[in-house]
Chains A and B, each alone.
Chain A
Amino acid sequence: MDSALIPEGAKRCSFPIFAVGIAIVGAVVLWGVYAMGLIWWKGLNQTNMNDYYGFALWIWADLAVIAVGGGAFFTGLLKYIFKVDELKNIINFAVIIGFICYSSALLILAIDIGQPLRGWFIFWHANVHSMLTEVAFCLSCYFAVLTIEFIPNILENRQANKVPFFHHLAHNMHGVMAVFAATGAFLSFFHQGSLGGVAGVMYGRPFAVREGLLIWPWTFFLFTWSAAAFGPCFTLLVTKITETITGKKLVKDNVVHLLSKISGWMIITYIIAKIIDTIYWATVTVPGLGFNISHFYSNNGFYGYWILVTEILICGVIPGLILIMKSTRENPTLRLVAIVLGVVGVCLNRWVMVLQIMAIPVLSFDTWALYVPSWQEVATTVLPVAYGIILIAVTYRYLPVFPQEKELNYVQPATETK
């Protein structure tokens, strides 16, 4: 019934099946929206946050989605600035994922603040010394960029494209996309970084504070780098999931291998920097403030060295190595493992840089503060995921997201073409 909207020559499931799928996920969205309404109506007392946990689950989710959404700007950077042309076959999808991540991030921020109706003060009364101000500005600007990058793809919809103006608009936007991509990269560098800065500048919090370059603590650069490194992992992961669900091959292996390879080297370089940073912090910064790092990983019911090991070794070094070595990289299973570990790793890093900071006592007579999110927090955190699934489903169904789809699925659908 909606065949008129489906890209020419593309095979899609029947509309009823599609509708049912959307309905199921839609229910989750409604749950999240209900929780969101509660929070806006009754206030943040609906959460389990408290004066020790001013930053909690949401801020973690926020940082996490932005980190994994980093695939968009990095892929864009490679495609449009460094002219890595193969990536044109995945850039659309990268942009869509980025769009989902960043729109979610903005939504979460709108829920998280105590006075949503005053949220715009962050722009209007901006304090340029605050990392959060930098985040807000760059985040929203970059979201605009993503929207701009997304528009041409939308206009390529079979019906929309019939409108000459839209057709030309899409065409022209492709033409100058490099300019947008460059701006996007610039903005991303700063907001990814300043998100890291948010933690790094908290010199009242020995676990978070880092020395740095000029006004930027090392976490600034580590966050940008990690987003660029693990973002593509997420893009590849979501592509893999989409391929599995649709039972179609959507992106050629050479593209996947290339992106994996780049991601791999980024991860390795990042994790080396991260290890150096950790060692310097643990042996110089923190002792100078009177702490042993053991203080941060003991005397509590949850946080132990395991989290440090998991983040850096298991979810950093290992995926990095897998992805830089041709043999392992081109083994689908190992690659998948690496990609998953990578995504987990970057999310874990953001968790540590938000929630563990809040948990650790700084005053010698204070105690660890652990917290469990309320269902409202969980629901509003699940919301973006559900919303993302729906948006991907819709865009995949109606837009020519994967340029190689037709070619790959023309002769013998859903088989590897080596």
Chain B
Amino acid sequence: MNKENIKAHKFGMVIDLDKCTGCGSCMVSCMSENNVPFKEDESNKKDSITWMRVYKLTNGKSFPDTEIAYLPRPCQHCGGKGDHGHSPCVSVCPATATDYGYDTGIVSQIYTRCFGCRYCMGACPYHARYFNWWDPEWPEGMEKYLSPNVSPRMRGVVEKCSFCYHRFQAARDKAYYDGRDDIEENEYQTACTTACPAGAIVFGDLNNPAHRVHEIVKPDPHPASNNPNVVGKSRNPNVFRLLERLGTNPKVYYLSEREWVRKAGDNYLEGEWDNIKNHHGSESHG
């Protein structure tokens, strides 16, 4: 557990919700990259495996003042309270089937280890975790397009977004092969990032000031003044995280110039938002 290792990466992404068009490319790119199965009826979104799910947000106003925004939701790869790596899901998994990579900040899922207790799903407020209620099935011949980089999951286990960890491994191996001790920013990009036609997703190392994601997010390395659990809050007034006040410390940030969209990122008591919106994002009273 080399928590203090300075060379440790902290991969994360920032998604520009003003650019996102809700087109679904990220969802499908993720599905085909990660051998996600499909079944006859996927219209019940509560049992439809979508590592990357695009939520539709509305400002709740009536015609013609109503507005829509789309919010893509991969696994948030939470660093947990104080960013110590005790993500809500990792800390509860009884069989160490999901783990926190202190060298990458990525929350892994070991399908052959998971025995399907689903505690992690209960613990995740983002519904980023999905259970294989059914055996995965592909129409005859279609299993030929499955990628060897990600093993298809068997029935009865939990799966979720891995930030395309296999792409990181590939990039790392290549770097090692070329005798470099680290990978380049563009060498490791997730499938959703590369697919997004609007270029709304920026992925990189939050620990590396040279990376675009860091430039946009400007994460504050110190715990938030009013909530020691919150670490890595963005210094960009238009950037926020989902449910930041819970202290889950996601590595997925969102960017929007629309106030109502930023407000939708967290929960606020009467009047709270107005007090804090000016000095940005979502302050916490925790």
Contact = CB atoms under 8 A, between A and B. Distances in A.
B92 A125 contact: no
Interface string B78-96: 0001000010100111111
Q: Which bucket holds chain B's interface residue count?
A: 35 or more
Contacts of A124: 95
Interface string B26-38: 0000000000000
A54 B246 contact: no
- Which applies to chain B's interface (DSSP): helix, strand, loop or mixed? loop
Contact of B95 (A125, A205, A290): A125
Given A51-B127, A130-B93, A44 B284 contact: no
B138 interface: no
B106 interface: no
A366 B135 CA distance: 28
Interface in A41-56: 43-45, 49-55
A203 B248 contact: yes
B125 interface: yes
A289 B93 contact: no
Interface stretch (B7-15, B111-119, B181-189): B111-119
A124 B158 CA distance: 19
B88 A114 contact: no
A365 B266 CA distance: 9
Interface string B144-155: 000000000011
A287 B156 contact: no
Which of A51, A132, A363 has the largest count of B CB atoms less than 10 A from its CB?
A51
B164 interface: no
Interface residues of A, number: 51
B217 interface: no
Nearest to A132: B94
B151 to A, nearest CB: 15
B209 interface: no
A289 B267 contact: yes
A289 B246 contact: yes
B157 interface: yes
Nearest to B99: A127
Interface in B239-286: 242-243, 245-248, 263-270, 272, 282, 284-286
A50 to B, nearest CB: 4
B286 A114 contact: no
B117 A287 contact: no
A357 B119 CA distance: 12
A202 interface: yes
Contacts of A51: 46-47, 121, 127, 129-131
B95 A127 contact: yes
A288 B119 CA distance: 25
Interface stretch (A77-85, A115-123, A178-186, A317-325): A115-123
Interface in A347-389: 357-358, 362-366, 369
A291 interface: yes
Nearest to B248: A204
A52 B133 CA distance: 12
Contacts of A365: 55, 57, 71, 264
Given A43-B135, A45-B134, A292 B113 contact: no
A364 B46 contact: no
Contacts of A292: 269-270
B272 A363 contact: no
B2 interface: no
Nearest to B45: A51
Nearest to A120: B115
Interface string A47-72: 00111111100000000000000000
Contacts of A149: none
Contacts of A129: 86, 91
A192 interface: no
Contact of A132 (B117, B126, B132, B265): B117
A52 B48 CA distance: 11
B92 A132 contact: yes
Contacts of A49: 133
Contacts of A287: 269, 285
A188 interface: no
Contact of A364 (B121, B156, B264): B264
B195 interface: no
Given A122-B95, A127-B96, A202 B115 contact: no
A124 B267 CA distance: 40
A363 B116 CA distance: 24
Nearest to B131: A51
A51 B131 CA distance: 6
B66 interface: no
Interface string A120-159: 0110111101111100100000000000000000000000
Given A54-B119, A363-B127, A366-B127, 8 more contacts: A51-B121, A55-B119, A118-B114, A121-B97, A201-B91, A287-B269, A290-B268, A358-B122
Interface of B: 44, 46-47, 55, 57, 71, 81, 86, 88, 91-97, 113-119, 121-127, 129-135, 154-158, 242-243, 245-248, 263-270, 272, 282, 284-286
19 contacts: A43-B155, A50-B44, A51-B129, A54-B121, A113-B117, A114-B115, A115-B156, A125-B95, A127-B94, A198-B92, A206-B267, A288-B286, A289-B286, A290-B269, A290-B272, A292-B269, A363-B242, A363-B243, A365-B55
